[in-house]
């Protein structure tokens, strides 16, 4: 997927997010899951603003301490900032990530998000759904749906300030 394809997907995703949010009411807010989801959330938020005329509030979640394998990690996880400065209760929260795979990151993000309050509704928006779910989790808004074998990985490269270099690649796992 090249830069133009990514921008087109984000524009469509923003329209879908706004339509879905309007179905049930509740003020919209965007929350990106670190790290890749935060870059994407910033982009999606701008596209949402192009539809609604106003940028929704945005926050970030770092799910490191909410992982379901935390007790099995050999070294302590690197924890980045979680930053949600608006009231979550009653909002329609658009949880944003770049890739949806097993669903474990989203499970952890929901857990962390609900520590901040009780959203009216949570929508999940991902740029790439690569299949391979290990939990009963599905995205509401998807940029591109792929079936990627476990031996391969999806890499979403979003270049801050230089959208023309953006790309989505599928390559063998472990290759730089």
Ligand X SMILES: O=P(O)(O)OC[C@H]1O[C@H](OP(=O)(O)OP(=O)(O)O)[C@H](O)[C@@H]1O
Ligand Y SMILES: O=c1cc[nH]c(=O)[nH]1
The answer to whether residue 113 forms part of the interface with ligand Y (CB under 6 A) is no
Task: Count Cβ atoms within 10 A of the Cβ of residue 34 and give its class: 0-12 exposed, 13-18 middle, 19 or more buried.
Answer: buried
Query: For the chain, give me the number of helices (H) and strands (E)?
Result: 3, 7
Binding mask 102-131 vs ligand X (x if CB under 6 A, - otherwise)?
xxxx--------------------------
Burial code (b: 16+ CB inside 10 Å, e: under 16) for 89-123 equals eebbbbbbbbbbbebbbbbbbbebbeebeebebbb
Binding-site member from 40, 84, 88, 99 for ligand Y (CB under 6 A): 99
Interface pick for ligand X out of 30, 31, 88, 100 (rule CB under 6 A): 100
Whole-number minimum distance, CB 140 to ligand X, in Å? Answer: 15
- 99 lies in the site for ligand X, by CB under 6 A: yes
Q: Is 154 in the site for ligand Y (CB under 6 A)?
A: yes
* Interface ranges with ligand Y (CB under 6 A): 99, 101, 130, 153-154
């Amino acid at each position: 997927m090249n830069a133009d394809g990514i921008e087109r997907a984000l524009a469509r995703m923003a329209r879908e997010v706004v339509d879905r949010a309007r179905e049930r009411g509740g003020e919209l807010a965007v929350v990106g899951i670190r790290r890749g989801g935060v870059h994407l959330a910033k982009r999606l938020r701008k596209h949402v603003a192009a539809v609604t005329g106003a940028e929704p509030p945005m926050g970030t979640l770092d799910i490191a301490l909410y992982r379901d394998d935390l007790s099995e990690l050999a070294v302590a996880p690197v924890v980045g900032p979680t930053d949600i400065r608006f009231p979550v209760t009653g909002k329609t929260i658009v949880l944003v990530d770049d890739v949806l795979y097993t669903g474990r990151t989203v499970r952890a993000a929901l857990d962390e998000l609900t520590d901040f309050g009780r959203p009216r509704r949570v929508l999940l928006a991902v740029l790439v759904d690569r299949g391979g779910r290990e939990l009963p989790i599905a995205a509401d808004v998807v940029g591109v749906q792929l079936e990627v074998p476990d031996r391969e990985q999806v890499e979403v490269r979003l270049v801050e300030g230089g959208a023309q270099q953006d790309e989505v690649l599928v390559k063998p796992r472990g290759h730089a």
